Every structure is written in structure tokens, then in C-alpha cells.
Chains A and B, each alone.
Chain A
């Protein structure tokens, strides 16, 4: 079983082990196990070994390498890494070596972490199963016939398989929390703007956010502390200093009110095992001194529709940059425009084309008011409903996803069925609020189920307190395929 990031960093800082030893062990685990999982699109042993030596040199020289000293990390391949190929899971960027590094990656490494590779993902973060990766799907370590979720499926699988204790993901409509749920780990989306988007290849710019994926809440808090905070390179970065969330982890649930979102916790879309695990978690919260109330988010059923207009609209604009001119693939045509078309036809996969088409349609003359402008108004309704719900509760909760991990191929030809798995996560992204998924049990077949906790904008301290409190009652799921519960 992989040690926790907090334990690794403590041992490396104290000289009990070296970053090089820790990183070598992670590289061996990946080498031995990733043929079956495909969590990584590429492993970066040279980079990892040289970074580990820097960390070890700092310790030897009596300097503190940082709170994540020697912690091996998988970076979702949507995050730019200077000199290391970054593809976003797309053929159109195959072979692209970014000339700069994403702020979240740079901050994590500045805190002593060591990147060991780039993780698999749905192409341009569009998907909920990782089956839209141009380089083949990642598989769920809990059952390799099933999907790990998406779009940060490779990051979730890398942590759940025990390859690395930490991975970074990105969450536009649930892409950190849903795969965390399906793989039985912790996945956290910060408040929009809390973590810099500099170097995060854009999908839907008003929704995208980078966040941690870990085996436990304390490690997620540690990573959050390292990557959050203002950045002059991202104009939408929140200027405030982020809260010290590690101070919240031991406070417990006494006196905290959890609001169960009625519209996102009941109904035909939810598997019985998911509802049962959710109800057990609510009982555990009450037993630990928390209070549980029912709240309503009347606009929630419409949030999914609004999202499927807003996100593709922003994507169609963002992905216009892939035109075969300045970087990435170019398929020569008879004219510049013909080159654009041929490059995009050859470079993009089905789901990306579908969303570009949908977004272009929603933004086109004659349809803008009916679709895009209307969706932006629904977004205001969602924000208003959340504000009303938080009047009655400190945090809100629901299952993270209505189902456990589904089989590869089961939903890949039905976009609407696929979208259902993001039902519970999407409203938060529209509001820009933070959210987290923690493991809350397995179904009869041993497939993990996630419990989602949401908090108002900027209230990550409250979110982590609640998540740590729930984890203290339910424990964490063993990673690495087996081991003790």
C-alpha cells in the first residue's frame, strides 16, 4: 500500500528516507502495473529522478524542500509542462512540447513534489469515462472491465492503483469529483479562481478549475495549500489569500449542519446501492454530532441543460485556436481554410467535434438568445438557489454520481446517458463553488461510491472540515488493489 503524501513528506524532510527512493518505488509500481490500467499517457523518469535529486540535495544542505518533499505526483495531461509532451489526450497536440509550465504544476514542484508522469484523460477534458482519450481508455483499478470515470480518469486511476499518492485533475462539470467517486479516492474542486488556470489548456474558461486527487482528505488539504492563491498570470485569479485548511481537519462535525440537496439525492437516476451508502453516511454524520436537514435546489434539474450549452459554447471558441497554423498537427490543404478544416477533421475525436458543433450552433446568429443567453440566465437561477440553500445549512451534500463505475463501452454511444453521471456535480461548477468527493462505501460487487460535499464560494475551510469529519467516521478505501480495508 502506498504511504500518504503527508507521511512521505515528513519522512523525506526528517531524513528518514530520500525523495530518490520514494520516486524510484513509484516508477517501479507504474512499470509493473500500468500496462493493465493505462493511467499514464507518458512516464517522465528522467525528469522525476533529477527533481528527486534536487529535493535530496536540499535536505542534505539543511534546507527545507517544502511541505510535499519527495511526493510523487501524476499531472493530468491538460496541464502544460515545459519540455514535456502535453497532448490533452488529443491527436491534434501529439508531440507538442509546451514552452512553459502551468502555475499549479510549478507550485506543486516548488513545494517539493516530484512529477513522475502525465495522466490519461478524455480528449480536452470532454467526457465522463476516459473513453474519449485518443490514446486509449484508462481502466478502473477496482475492476479493469470498468471505466475510471472522467475526464480526469487517468489521475483517479493512478491514485486508486497505488502508483502515486497524489495527482492533479481539472474539473469543469465534475471531472475531478466523478472519477474520484468511481475509483474510491478523494477529489476536490476549489472555488473557481482559487487555483490559477495559467497553463491549464482551456475547455470552458468560466468553469474550469484545477484541484487535488488523493487517497485521503489531509493529503488533499496539503496539496490545496500548495497550489491555491493569487497568480498575476491568470486574470480571473482570486486576489485573497486562501484559508489555512489544515487547521480545520481535526475540528469534527459537532454543530455543523449538512443540507441534503433533495433534487440531487433521490430519484430513478440513482442506483439503490448509491442511495443506501448515502443514507448510511448521513446517519454517521448525525452520530458524530452533525445535523442533517433537507434543502431544495429547484433549478438543479435545469443545470445540466444549461451546462450542455455553456460549456460547449465556450469550448467551441477556445478550441478555435487549434487551426494547424502555430502548433500541433497540420494537415496541408489547398488553402489556409482548407488546411484548418483538414487539420481539425484529422486531429479531433468524435466527442470534441460534437461539442464544437453544439457550441457553434448555440452561439450562431438566430439561436444565441434562445440557447446561450437563456443558459446564462439559468446559471443565475442556480446561484440564487444555492444562496437560499446555504441560509439553512453550513455545507450541502449529495451522492457524487448516481451510479458506480460502468462498463467500458456501456454508455459510449449514448451522449445523454453519459451526461447523467455528472448530474450531481455540474450545478456547483455553474455557481463557481468548491466541492469534494470522499469515499463512503462499496456496493455488493465491491465498486466504490462517493459522497459529495459542497460549500459556498471561498469557504474551502468549511469544506475540508466537513470532509475530514466524514472521513473520520467512514475511513478511507485501500488503494493498490487489495490490502486491508
Chain B
């Protein structure tokens, strides 16, 4: 088994997933199986092989940095879970003593 229960708990934390006990159990087994399968690529000799991140030899696309029309702000805000004064309202991320931009409530 290539993945331990502790690995699963750690990775869930990195991925911001709050897994149930049942999911931790299930993923420990399934991810091990998938990774054992995937690990077969280690058998391949890739000593002199460059990695491919993108399949086609395309160059960067550049454009002039000029102001143009953008999508409607109201349309975006109408889809946000919470808004206030033309902004998306989110939970506080800094406490009062931190003095950061967390005010609101």
C-alpha cells in the first residue's frame, strides 16, 4: 500500500476537503490502488526525455494593453453567495488585532 491514512488526512488538508471517516477509509485504499498502477511509469527510461506541459509548439499570445469593454459587474455579483456595497462579502481572514482588511461584521 503506497498511501497511508495519515497521507490521506494530510492531502485532504492541502486540498481543503473535509473528508468524513468513511471517505478517509475509502480513499486510502482507492488512491493506493491507482498510484500503484500509475507508478508503473517508473519502469520507463526517460533519462534523456524532456517533459511536455503543452502538446503544441504555440508561442505566447500578446496584445496591446488597452482598456476595453469588460463583463458587467452586477452580473457577476448577482452570482456571489453574499455581497455588500458592490463587493463580494467573504468570511474574515484576519482578526481585529491583525489590523488587516477583515472588517465588516
* Chain A residues within CB distance 8 Å of chain B: 96-100, 191-193, 206, 232, 235-239, 299, 302, 305-306, 308-309, 316, 320, 323-330, 332-333, 335-337, 339-342, 344-345, 348, 350, 353-354, 356-358, 360-361, 364, 370-371, 373-381, 383, 415-416, 430-433, 457
Specify the main secondary structure of chain B where it touches its partner: loop
Q: Are B58 and A193 in contact (CB under 8 A)?
A: yes
B92 adjacent to chain A (CB < 8 Å) = yes
Tell me the complex Cα distance, A350–B25, Å.
13
Is B51 within 8 A of A379, CB to CB?
yes
The answer to whether A415 touches B58, judged by C-beta atoms less than 8 angstroms apart, is: no
A379 touches B52 (CB 8 A): yes
Is B18's CB under 8 angstroms from A308's CB? no
Judge whether A232 and B63 touch: CB under 8 Å.
yes
Residue of B at shortest CB range from A237? B61
Which chain A residue shows the least CB distance to B27? A357
Cα–Cα distance between A392 and B76 once the two chains are bound (Å): 52
Does B55 lie within 8 Å of A432, measured CB to CB? yes
Given the contacts A374-B41, A416-B34, A361 and B7 also touching, CB distance less than 8 Å: yes
Complex CA–CA separation, A423 to B72 (angstroms) = 43
Enumerate chain A residues within 8 angstroms of B49, measured Cβ to Cβ: 377, 380-381
Q: CB of B1 within 8 A of chain A? A: no
Closest Cβ of chain B to A403, distance in Å, is 19
- Which of these, A337, A357, A376, A432, contacts B8 with CB under 8 Å? A357
Q: Given B14, B55, B63, B91, which contacts A360 in the complex, CB threshold below 8 Å?
A: B14
* A336-B92, A353-B23, A374-B42 known; A361 vs B35 contact (CB < 8 Å): yes
> Residue B6 at the A interface, CB < 8 A?
no
Whether the pair B46, A100 counts as a contact (CB closer than 8 A) is no
Contact with B58, one of A238, A342, A381 (Cβ below 8 angstroms) = A238
Given A358-B31, A381-B49: A364 and B56 interface contact (C-beta under 8 Å): no
Q: Check B42 against A370 for contact (C-beta < 8 Å).
A: yes
A99–B19 CB distance below 8 A: no
Q: A99-B72, A353-B17 are in contact. Are A305 and B40 (CB under 8 A)?
A: yes
Q: Smallest Cβ distance from B33 to chain A, in angstroms?
A: 6
A residues near B42, Cβ cutoff 8 Å = 370, 374
Q: How far is the CA of A377 from the CA of B44 in the complex (A)?
A: 10
Give the chain A neighbours of B82 by CB distance below 8 A.
330
B81 cross-chain contacts in A, Cβ below 8 A: 324-325, 327-330
Residues of B within 8 A of A232 (CB): 61, 63
A380 touches B51 (CB 8 A): yes
- Is there contact, CB below 8 Å, between A360 and B27? no
The interface on chain B, measured as residues whose beta carbon lies within 8 A of the other chain's beta carbons, has a size of 53
Chain B residues with CB under 8 Å of chain A are: 3, 7-8, 11-12, 14-20, 23, 27, 30-31, 33-35, 37-42, 44, 46, 49-56, 58, 60-61, 63, 71-72, 75-76, 78-82, 88, 90-93
Q: A337-B16, A361-B11 are in contact. Are A457 and B55 (CB under 8 A)?
A: yes
Residues on the B chain within 8 Å of A375, using CB = 38, 41
- Would you give 20 A-B contacts (Cβ < 8 Å), ordered by A? A232-B63, A239-B58, A299-B44, A302-B44, A305-B40, A326-B76, A327-B76, A340-B16, A353-B19, A354-B31, A356-B15, A358-B31, A371-B35, A378-B44, A380-B49, A415-B33, A416-B33, A432-B54, A432-B55, A457-B55
Pair A100/B71 contact, Cβ less than 8 Å: yes
Residue of A299, A377, A383 ringed by the most chain B CB atoms within 10 A = A377
Question: Which residues of B sit under 8 angstroms from A324, Cβ to Cβ?
Answer: 81
Query: Least Cβ distance of A188 to chain B in Å?
Result: 17
In the complex, what distance in Å separates the CA atom of A236 from the CA atom of B20?
Answer: 39
Q: What residues of B have a CB within 8 angstroms of the CB of A342 in the complex?
A: 18
Please give, as numbers and ranges, the residues of chain A lying within 8 Å of B35 by CB-CB distance: 358, 361, 371
Q: Which residue of A lies closest to B51 (CB)?
A: A376
- Chain B hits for A306, CB < 8 A: 38, 41
Q: A305-B41, A457-B56 are in contact. Are A344 and B7 (CB under 8 A)?
A: no
